[in-house]
Amino acid sequence: MEKYDVTVIGAGAGGVFMAYEFAKLNKGIKVCIIDRGSPITERKCPIDGKKIKACVHCKTCAIMHGFGGAGGMSDGKYNITNSFGGDLFTYTGKAEATELMEYVDKVNLAMGGADAKLYSTVSTDLKAEALKYDLHLLDAKVRHLGTDRNREILKNIYEFVKDKVDIRFREEAKSIKSSDGGFVITTDKGEYFCKQAVVAAGRSGSKWISEMCAEFGIVTRSNRVDIGVRVELPAAVFEHITSKVYESKIVFRTKKYGDSVRTFCMNPYGEVVHENTNGIITVNGHSYADPALHTENTNFALLVSNTFSEPFKDSNLYGESIARLANMLGGGVLVQRFGDLVAGRRTNEHRLSQCFLTPTMQATPGDLSLVIPKRQLDDIIEMIYALDKIAPGTANNDTLLYGVEVKFYNSRVEVNEYLETKVKGLYVIGDGSGVTHSLSQASASGVYVARKIAENYNK
């Protein structure tokens, strides 16, 4: 059995930046990271660039797992803000949370992102225009790396840490047990003993984390689930907004139900992609830094937040059931023209072929009203008409809606101010903790806990 001072489960954003910080501090702390995925250079979805509508269900999804985690194959947007993307500041304080996110930003710049533009959503004209229609633009600084540049940065971080931290790829953690003042971590390939264990398994590890918490008697609280669609339209429709702020986080309170709907993950000149979470196929999007890889379209998600009262406790199960219904009807992701949705008719191959907009992802034409509950669908339609006021063309008949997009939130794990559970030496960080919901905050949580562990090393 190999022995380590610290073992980290998961090489997503939190795990990667924890590895970086341990390597930089260079205190002689023996660290191991375990991830079921592959090195960043070997991560590639087998249907990427191919005319295939459905996920082929690889044993380990290259989009979701591997060095960099789900963020490694994403658009590479780092939002530097406490206004959204998680609640790390409730543990660290707002000033330190901001400092940590700015530190992560500096690392990204030093590791190959120096040319990445920093946007700000603090645009008085845009905010004022949006408020006329009860649309609320949230403030943040946004560093857009792009999917291509993001991968290069991760490659450079890997080169920096590989000789200072042991990283075990294609190895899946099965359990954690307390043992002799530390922990035994059992994987599908062996066992490891460590003095301190850090769980950084991300959103895709939510069920595993919940089971681990139950075994240790660690309290968890249910979080929300966000359900919606990914909107694709001509880039020119939102160009006057994306050129200023790039990632516009716009929140709208619907008049019909009083529900909150928000834009999420906006990708100017980007493409729509599949996402596989524990065998459930949903939709996402990204864009590239290299102009040669740009498309003529922009895509973004419209998400309706759902929280539940007693007796129902499993919000993620609700989102999964809706996503599975879309998978059942469409063999994966469904796509529908906005005009067809409003008219109450299914989009078929013929109607899609007549569309003036060229889809960037192969999906099955269908009827989203058979999948998404009426309330959420009404919310989305109302939001599209509201956005049309500040971005005319959003509500065009040929605007495409891909479904479903689901954002699963891990149950909030009860941790102290250092993200340590009641089990001494057992930490939970990143999106898997339910504390963070973004690349910037997940990365910052890894840095934060690495520093805390290093401070107490050999004490």
Find the angle CA(9)-CA(434)-CA(137) to the nearest 5 degrees.
130
Interval 207-250: pLDDT, tens? 899 999 999 999 998 768 899 999 999 999 999 999 988 888 99
In this predicted structure, which of 57-66, 310-319, 356-365, 394-403 has the lowest mean pLDDT? 310-319
The pLDDT of residue 62 is: 87
The pLDDT of residue 63 is: 83
- Taking each helix axis from N to C end, the angle separating 439-455 and 13-25, rounded to the nearest 10 degrees, works out to 40
Please, are residues 267 and 300 in contact by the beta-carbon 8 Å criterion?
Answer: yes
Q: Which residues pair with 4 in a beta bridge?
A: 194
> What integer is the mean pLDDT of 140-161?
95
The pLDDT of residue 123 is: 67
Domain boundaries, the chain: 2-119+141-222+411-455, 225-408
Binning pLDDT at 50, 70 and 90, where does residue 459 land?
low
Interval 117-144: pLDDT, tens? 999 877 668 899 999 999 999 988 999 9
Please, are residues 5 and 143 in contact by the beta-carbon 8 Å criterion?
Answer: no
The pLDDT of residue 46 is: 84
Does the bond joining 365 to the residue before it have cis omega, within 30 degrees of 0?
no
Instruction: Name the residue with higher pLDDT: 61 or 162.
Output: 162
Binning pLDDT at 50, 70 and 90, where does residue 157 land?
very high
Structure-token match 């009641």, residue found: 422
> What integer is the mean pLDDT of 391-403?
97
- Residue 17: C-alpha distances to residues 46, 117, 120, 314, 430 (Å): 28, 21, 24, 30, 10
Please, are residues 403 and 330 in contact by the beta-carbon 8 Å criterion?
Answer: no
Q: Which of 49, 51, 388 is nearest to 233 (CA)?
A: 388
Mean pLDDT over the full length of the chain: 93
The pLDDT of residue 188 is: 95
Whole-angstrom distance, CA of residue 62 vs CA of residue 277? 11
> What integer is the mean pLDDT of 61-72?
90
> Residue type for 273, please?
V
Give the count of beta carbons closer than 10 Å to the beta carbon of residue 28: 11
Interval 255-279: pLDDT, tens? 999 999 999 999 999 999 988 877 8
Interval 138-150: pLDDT, tens? 988 999 999 999 9
Please, are residues 97 and 444 in contact by the beta-carbon 8 Å criterion?
Answer: yes
Whole-angstrom distance, CA of residue 346 vs CA of residue 166? 52
Binning pLDDT at 50, 70 and 90, where does residue 59 land?
confident
Q: Which of 408, 425, 53 is nearest to 210 (CA)?
A: 408
> What integer is the mean pLDDT of 175-197?
96
> What integer is the mean pLDDT of 401-428?
93
The pLDDT of residue 52 is: 57
The pLDDT of residue 51 is: 55
Q: Which of 69, 414, 438, 446 is nearest to 212 (CA)?
A: 414
Whole-angstrom distance, CA of residue 229 vs CA of residue 373? 12
Does residue 54 register a pLDDT over 80? no
Contact residues for 383 (Cβ-Cβ < 8 A; gap 6+): 252, 254, 261, 302
Which pTM does this prediction carry? 0.87
Q: Which of 385, 279, 257, 389 is nearest to 332 (CA)?
A: 279
Does residue 53 register a pLDDT over 60? no
**10: three-class secondary structure by DSSP:** coil
Chain centroid offset of residue 15 CA: 15
- The fold of 2-119+141-222+411-455 is FAD/NAD(P)-binding domain (3.50.50)
CA end-to-end distance (rounded Å), the chain? 25
The pLDDT of residue 309 is: 78
On the 0-12 / 13-18 / 19+ scale of CB atoms within 10 A, 191 is: middle
Binning pLDDT at 50, 70 and 90, where does residue 196 land?
very high
The pLDDT of residue 315 is: 82
